[in-house]
Amino acid sequence: MRPYLGLFVGVVAVSFAAILIRLAHAPALVIAAYRLAIASFIVVPWAWWQSRGMTAVNLRRRDLFLGALSGVALALHFAFWISSLSYTSVASSVVLVTISPLIVGVVSHFFTDDKMSRDTLLGICVSMIGGIVIGYEGAQLGSRMIFGDLLALLGSVAVAAYFLLGRNLRGRLPLLSYISIAYFSAAFVLLFLCLAMKQSLSGYSNETYLMLILLALGPQLLGHSYLNWALRYVSATFVTVAVLGEPVGATLLAYLILRERPTLAEIGGGALILLGIYISLSRGGLPLTRWNRGDHIQDEG
């Protein structure tokens, strides 16, 4: 039950991201940079203290490179996805960015040992139909929403790479070691992009800074870290299918907090997404990995 519980907590936490981003009145790159910089400021010293300064020494160059590459993919994911929220609705953005299970499933099936079952494939297809229903409605509302949907799609490609790389590394690295490399690399890339595009990192309201802190503590440290923790136990496809619950939670929160009423297409598409998750997770069962037996207490930190 632990992987199920971890995925549930992670999905609930990341569902708050779109709402906090809407309430933070700052450019997309600035929001993403603060999110990862604050998370790195907490995680990196924690990882270093837990390992008593030996984390960086024990890592292989290949692990450092792949971890940094995972961080770059995460940075691009946030840059594209957060930007999309300025052009399209919360529901359309978070649904389109979470088509990553199809990308992850195909890559994993043909290039790794993680094979998709028929139930997993069926669940992905049902969820994808739900995403198409919502995306099609957005396409009817003008070119501005189409551009936002395109940014969200690019974000889905980037996050697929992020989870695939994480799946590869989590078989060898403890959680804190991996996320400290990935989060720090993502923060570095995003801060560099802010400086290159002359985005100011100061001068925002206290409310905005509060939203940025909450974004780092909730969706990033709690949400993404639990999703990365689960990658040691289950396939990247399984994790990304579970993450498809995010748009449903985000749409509900958008209605309760932002008064952004979901359309019939968004409600129907969300129902299909939940059905697809149910098919994938219940009929397919929990695909525990060979790494589960070798897990150790250091990873639980």
Report the candidate in 34, 14, 70 with the shortest Cα–Cα distance to residue 185. 70
Supply the pLDDT for residue 295.
43
Task: Report if residue 299 sits inside a domain.
Answer: no
Task: Report if residue 246 sits inside a domain.
Answer: yes
Task: Report if residue 206 sits inside a domain.
Answer: yes
> What digits encode the pLDDT tens for the residues 33-64?
999 999 999 998 888 777 664 444 467 788 88
**CB 42: neighbour CB atoms within 10 A?**
15
> What digits encode the pLDDT tens for the residues 259-296?
777 778 778 887 887 788 778 766 554 454 444 444 44
What is the DSSP secondary structure assignment for residue 223, as one 8-state letter? I
How many domains are there within the chain?
1
Indicate if the pLDDT at residue 190 is higher than 90. Answer: yes
Task: Report if residue 296 sits inside a domain.
Answer: no
User: Minimum mean pLDDT among 59-68, 78-87, 183-192: which range?
Assistant: 78-87
Task: Report if residue 298 sits inside a domain.
Answer: no
Indicate if the pLDDT at residue 1 is higher than 50. Answer: yes
**Of 20-34, 208-222, 250-264, which one has max mean pLDDT?**
208-222
Indicate if the pLDDT at residue 141 is higher than 60. Answer: no
For 20, residues 6+ apart whose C-beta sits below 8 A from its C-beta are 211, 214, 215, 218, 219
Please give the Cα distance from 81 to 151 (Å, whole number): 6
Higher-pLDDT residue of 259 and 187 is 187
Please give the Cα distance from 78 to 217 (Å, whole number): 16
Task: Report if residue 282 sits inside a domain.
Answer: yes
Supply the pLDDT for residue 205.
94
Supply the pLDDT for residue 263.
77
Indicate if the pLDDT at residue 79 is higher than 50. Answer: yes
User: Minimum mean pLDDT among 21-30, 185-194, 214-223, 268-277: which range?
Assistant: 268-277
Indicate if the pLDDT at residue 231 is higher than 60. Answer: yes
> Which range of residues forms the domain containing residue 161?
2-290
Indicate if the pLDDT at residue 111 is higher than 80. Answer: no
Residues 264 and 136 sit within 8 Å (Cβ to Cβ): no
Region 76-102: mean pLDDT is 74
Residues 84 and 155 sit within 8 Å (Cβ to Cβ): yes
For the chain, give the mean pLDDT: 80
Rg of the chain taking only CA atoms, in angstroms:
18
Task: Report if residue 300 sits inside a domain.
Answer: no
Region 104-124: mean pLDDT is 76
Supply the pLDDT for residue 283.
55
Task: Report if residue 295 sits inside a domain.
Answer: no
Q: What is the pTM of this model?
A: 0.78
Supply the pLDDT for residue 142.
54
Q: Which two tokens stand for residue 49?
A: 């203290």
